[in-house]
Amino acid sequence: MAISIGEITRGMTLVYNGELYEVASFEHVKRARGSAFVRAKLRHLGTGRTIVDTLRDSDHLEPAFMETRPMQYLYNDGSAYVFMDKSTFEEYRVPPELLDKFKDFLLEGMDVQGLFHDGRMLQVQTPSFMTLEVVDTPPGVKGDTATGGDKPATLETGAVIKVPLFVRAGDRIKVDTRTGVYVERVS
């Protein structure tokens, strides 16, 4: 069942040129002369590679049926991240390039969602926000205020992010895992 370019949405998974892509972003362009088209940024689900392409109504686009299953992150063996299907206990190995920035925020035993197509795990859907403990950060200088600058902080996962000067080691903070940005301190 083919779809038109007007039905494209962000996050949709498409079969395009025989490959699976996720729509990262798109822009509808309507010109005075000629037909409308969509300029889309597509992320390949097998390699994580991003392409920018112009899609027209004449292009054959099919939505891909994706299945979501509850998974648990087990460990990193050095070459891949290992996840377990919580219902079948089957293990899946995911290369680091498919996890984007989120691999820096994985904690052993955490629950995530696995995205499958034809029985093959292609992607891990992760929580957008996580509460993590700051294990190391330099002390703030006396007189620094809550609105004054930032400093690096190492989280319990090993990720290093920028935090405000008032954050101390032992504090729990909320982090946006999509961007790796500090959101707020949690009590």
| Same-domain pairing of 71 and 119 | yes
Q: What CATH number should be reported for the domain holding residue 11? A: 2.30.30.30
The DSSP bridge partners found for residue 113 are 70, 125
Q: What is the pTM of this model?
A: 0.72
- Considering the domain architecture, whether residues 120 and 147 belong to the same structural domain is answered as no
* pLDDT digits 0-9 by tens, 12-31: 888 888 888 888 888 888 87
- My answer on whether 113 and 137 are in the same domain is no
* pLDDT tens figures, 80-134: 999 999 999 999 998 887 776 788 888 899 999 988 888 888 888 888 899 999 9
Q: Are residues 58 and 9 in the same domain?
A: yes
How far apart are the C-alpha atoms of 115 and 133, rounded to whole Å? 28
> What pLDDT, on a 0 to 100 scale, did the predictor assign at position 120?
83
Which of residues 63, 79, 101 is at a domain's end? 63
Residues 72 and 119 in one domain: yes
Mean pLDDT is lowest, of 21-30, 34-43, 92-101, 135-144, for 135-144
The pLDDT of residue 143: 60
Domain extent at residue 179? 129-186
Q: Domain holding 137: CATH number?
A: 2.40.50.140
> How confident is the prediction for the chain on average, in pLDDT?
86
* Location of structure tokens 């991240």: 81
- Using 50, 70 and 90 to split pLDDT, how confident is the model at 148? low
In degrees and rounded to multiples of 5, residue 33 shows phi and psi of -115, 145
Could you give the number of structural domains in the chain? Answer: 3
| Secondary structure class of 43 (helix, strand, coil) | strand
Based on the fold, state whether residues 55 and 43 are members of the same structural domain. Answer: yes
